[in-house]
Structure 1
């Protein structure tokens, strides 16, 4: 019996050494979770027997359980390196099957799918409106994440937002005769008080320059000293660069009126210049402006001038922006902490390609280890619960980082020494039993 007890101790110590050695071997494995050998005593007793002097029969390996504590996040320069800061598992498509992992070292295969080193595809929620940044997601179904490498389509400018100040005590400029200028000549800078430009885009992404010329309303002269202004009134002329020879640009002049506090009172809505784009170079067949959602007809650009003021003695532009953009080349991908995957383009736009889905289990230690840093569902682990990163008890996504192994190398080295001593001690049990047996034989 002592031989069998000692042998069970040797087997247990050897298993402890193997578990510790496996932990040490995977110290640098991304997403690895250390294991712990758990032992139980062996107690043999006859059926129905009760004895206070019964002796145990040794030890056995009861379980090898993984410890799902958080590993340190090591930062990289790859946006597709993902780490989970908290609970949860990445969901991977393994040729139609589903496996789970904490290792987020992903890359792109030849078909544009995001995969790990084993070729398993990362699962995401598909956006309802692909390419739109404020889209919702179809959380009822998982799909493979596929990155798009095509150009981002251009968008025609539909609205220009102008916020600027005009000088309150300005006078109309004088022409060659000394009379007040009443019509802007865009080729003569002395025929207007102030101008500013903004780049707008047609429906094919071609940039075109729109210039706003401001002229103080007034009369008088010559001489120029006799020119008087309408204190609260201006004219604005809107011109698009590239007008072909002989063409005209009707409807580009608008009246502006301010109140005594410098606030714009007329017009009360946006200005609507109608640029006949067919008369402008390049004549590429594009349009400028929006599209009526009901009729499908083109709608001219709207210029929001509600931010215009007439204060003080300086011209200033606080904001002059528009909502169009040209064709964009793919410049990279980003993943935010909630798992939303964006494609970034050279035109400053971004498109949503999906949202990383995470899974969690009531008993992660019940998962079946598959190797390659993957786990499979089991009855003991419970059903997987899918959700968005950062919701419920799921962790957040760290892009450009990888979760390191949670192995504490110092602790494992101490465990090695302990397991070695246990092995030696159990071997000594067998040696002592052998000596006792030999003594009995020699009697």
Structure 2
């Protein structure tokens, strides 16, 4: 009997050492969760047998339980690395079967799918449409699928439709005077800076994404609270000699405090016929009017170019020098994919060379009622089992689901110092049980030698 008790103790201590050794071996494994050997005593007795003098029959390994505590999150600088801060698992497609992992070291395969080192594809929710908000209502949460990046796609160009000008015009300026006549210039000659007081320029884009320079020329009138503004594009062809007084002209009036008098100022839309400006690429600027479309209109859109809206509500006339506070517009050129951004809600944004970001989808997170019931598969993967319950799918940061930290990985939750101490304890247990067997052997030899 003592031999069996000692043998069970050796087996238990050996199992404890194996579990500890496995933990130590995976100290550097991303997303690894340590295990704990749990033991139960053994009693061998007949049914209904009860005795105060009954002795146990040893020990057995009752369970090898995984501990799903949070591992340290370490920054990597790689945008494709993702870590879950909190509960949940990444959902992976393994040739049609779903597996779950905490290891977020991802990469992109030749087809643009986000995969791990085993080729399993990361699952997520596709975006319903391109958006700027980050609410889960904009994702098709019932349509779980493979995350794929548009490697060969471009962000299309958008023609400028609105320009915002926020500048300060010096109140000390005076009306430009022609020295040859002693009178005000009758028109603005954009090639002669003496005919205007100041100018400000910005880049706008046509419908094909070509950059074009637009300049606003500011001329003080005889009225100290009034300015005339001329808007023009560079590249007029054939160039007049010289181009004088562009068609896009309006007058601004200020109050005595230097603020724009919006009731006395009317800003007409700016309209440019790009057939008169280099490059002659057949593009338009501003939104096309589909109501003017004809059978010969390209793409079914209007034949006439749209009009650019100019917002001058931020223009002032103060005593300080000329200055630019803001000159912006809403158009952009076409762009190629340059990288990815993932926010804490798991929303994946594609960054393009034109400065635009487009939403591709949202990383899905799975959780379980009993994570310790998951079946270990190796390669940092778990599978659903009867003990774990069904997966609960959701979005990062919602309810019990952890948030996503991009450019970071969750390290193993193994405490190496603790494991080394535990290994010493398991070694002592093994030696003690071996001593039990050797002692039983000595007792047996004594009886035989009697």
- Structure-1 residue corresponding to 2:141: 139
- Structure-2 residue corresponding to 1:441: 448
Farther-moved stretch of structure 1 (243-252 vs 86-95) = 243-252
Matched, 1:177 2:181: yes
CA distance in 2, matches of 1:133, 1:291: 24
Change (3 A) 1:415 1:294: farther
User: What stretches of structure 2 of length at least 5 have no aligned partner?
Assistant: 293-300
CA distance in 2, matches of 1:386, 1:269: 55
- Structure-1 residue corresponding to 2:275: 278
Query: Which residue among 295, 308, 316 is the counterpart of 1:309?
Result: 316
- Structure-1 residue corresponding to 2:168: 165
Change (3 A) 1:432 1:270: farther
- Structure-2 residue corresponding to 1:415: 422
CA distance in 1, matches of 2:268, 2:431: 92
- Structure-2 residue corresponding to 1:6: 6
Q: Deviations over 1:223-257 (max 9, x none)?
A: xxxxxx21222110001111111678863111211
Give the Å deviation of 1:330: 2.2
CA distance in 1, matches of 2:226, 2:271: 23
Q: Deviations over 1:349-388 (max 9, x none)?
A: 1111111111111211110000000001112112212222
* 1:322-341 correspondence runs (5 A): 322-341=329-348
User: What stretches of structure 1 of length at least 5 have no aligned partner?
Assistant: 218-228
Matched, 1:299 2:306: yes
Query: Which residue among 393, 398, 412 is the counterpart of 2:400?
Result: 393
- Structure-2 residue corresponding to 1:222: none
Give the Å deviation of 1:291: 3.8
Aligned to 1:39, what secondary structure does the other structure show? strand
- Structure-2 residue corresponding to 1:432: 439
Task: With the length of structure 2 as denominator, give the TM-score of the two structures.
Answer: 0.92
CA distance in 2, matches of 1:104, 1:62: 32
Aligned to 2:164, what secondary structure does the other structure show? strand
Query: Which residue among 318, 322, 345 is the counterpart of 2:325?
Result: 318
Give the Å deviation of 1:292: 4.6
CA distance in 2, matches of 1:291, 1:128: 26
Query: Which residue among 204, 208, 211 is the counterpart of 1:207?
Result: 211
Change (3 A) 1:97 1:268: farther
Matched, 1:230 2:257: no
Aligned to 2:9, what secondary structure does the other structure show? helix
Q: Deviations over 1:390-415 (max 9, x none)?
A: 22122221211111111111111111
Contact kept in structure 2, 1:165 and 1:309, CA below 8 Å: yes
Query: Which residue among 182, 194, 216 is the counterpart of 1:190?
Result: 194
Contact kept in structure 2, 1:270 and 1:306, CA below 8 Å: no
Farther-moved stretch of structure 1 (329-338 vs 96-105) = 329-338
Query: Which residue among 245, 252, 261 is the counterpart of 2:248?
Result: 252
CA distance in 2, matches of 1:406, 1:284: 60
Give the Å deviation of 1:338: 1.7
Contact kept in structure 2, 1:269 and 1:306, CA below 8 Å: no
CA distance in 1, matches of 2:111, 2:175: 64
Aligned residue pair count: 431
CA distance in 2, matches of 1:119, 1:232: 69
Aligned to 1:428, what secondary structure does the other structure show? helix
Contact kept in structure 1, 2:251 and 2:265, CA below 8 Å: no
- Structure-2 residue corresponding to 1:91: 91
Contact kept in structure 1, 2:99 and 2:383, CA below 8 Å: yes
- Structure-2 residue corresponding to 1:225: none
